[in-house]
Amino acid sequence: MLAVAGCRRIWLNGSFVTAKDEPADFDGCWDPEGVDFDALDPVLLDLSEGRAQQKARFGGELFPNVVESDSGLAFNEFFQNERDTGRKGIVSIKIGEVQ
């Protein structure tokens, strides 16, 4: 869905990017640069009610890569911060245009 709307990169975080045998969920963000918001599935912009619609549909949460209000960091940077241990890695995926 994101590729169809012109998105070229997503970042994944959450237990999905840990060593857990059974990850419970994921958090992610997507690059809004070049995205046709009219072609974007509305659920990807629905951040209401704790992102309940996204969780129900995808099993996780996807934010546009904008500034996270509490930290002042873009989400792709915010996701790389651990509360107690400093920095961590996340997964970056380049996606292409869907033909």
Segment 5-35, tens digit of pLDDT: 999 999 998 776 667 777 777 899 999 999 9
pLDDT of amino acid 16: 65
Q: What is the pTM of this model?
A: 0.84
Q: How many domains does the chain have?
A: 1
Give the percent of the chain with pLDDT over 70.
92
Residue 4 is assigned to a structural domain of this protein: no
Residue 3 is assigned to a structural domain of this protein: no
Residue 98 is assigned to a structural domain of this protein: no
Helices (H) and strands (E) in the chain, counts: 2, 6
Q: How many CB atoms lie within 10 A of CB 4?
A: 13
* Residue 96 scores a pLDDT above 90: no
Give the pair of three-digit tokens for residue 89: 């890695």
Domain range enclosing 53 = 9-93
Residue 21 is assigned to a structural domain of this protein: yes
Residue 2 is assigned to a structural domain of this protein: no
pLDDT tens digits for 35-49? 999 999 999 999 999
User: What CA–CA distance (Å, rounded) separates 77 from 74?
Assistant: 5
Residue 99 is assigned to a structural domain of this protein: no
Residue 1 is assigned to a structural domain of this protein: no
Residue 76 is assigned to a structural domain of this protein: yes
